[in-house]
Copies of this chain bind each other. A is one copy, B any other.
Amino acid sequence: MKQNASPVAYNIYSKDCPARAFFDRLADHWTLLIIGLLKKEAFRFNQIKREVEGISQKVLSQKLKQLERDGLITRTAFPTVPVTVEYRLTDLGHSFMQTIEHLGCWAEQNIEQVKQAQKNYDSINA
């Protein structure tokens, strides 16, 4: 019973590969912050905007639409007043979230070392 009949068909290092285009959409700071935020629970539009500090409404709107189109999140509107729109990870989105889960805390945990490296670099390249 063969499961992986096809050889490696996609390669993110190839300019015209669909997986590369997909990778390019994912490998974006706003996208990663949004996906990371939705880890445990659903969030509303303005909630995301408040949590992901610095993101503009326009870009948030674009990224959410993109993520929904790619099947990583779902968008659900409730007919409340005012309207409530909820964004939630799909199974695919949750799977992706797991691959980037530790990226954020890695950055937080290693920033001191980075600061030191910058200091050192700047003292040499004055």
Contact = CB atoms under 8 A, between A and B. Distances in A.
Interface of A: 8, 10-15, 18-20, 22-24, 26-29, 32-33, 37, 51-54, 68-71, 92, 95-96, 99-100, 102-104, 106-108, 110-111, 113-118, 120-122
B10 A108 contact: yes
B113 A71 contact: yes
B29 A29 contact: no
A52 to B, nearest CB: 6
A114 B23 contact: no
Given A27-B29, A37-B13, A8 B108 contact: yes
B96 A113 contact: no
Nearest to A18: B111
Contact of A27 (B28, B68, B70, B108): B28
B106 A99 contact: yes
B71 A116 contact: yes
Contacts of A95: 106, 110
Given A27-B29, A29-B27, A12 B107 contact: yes
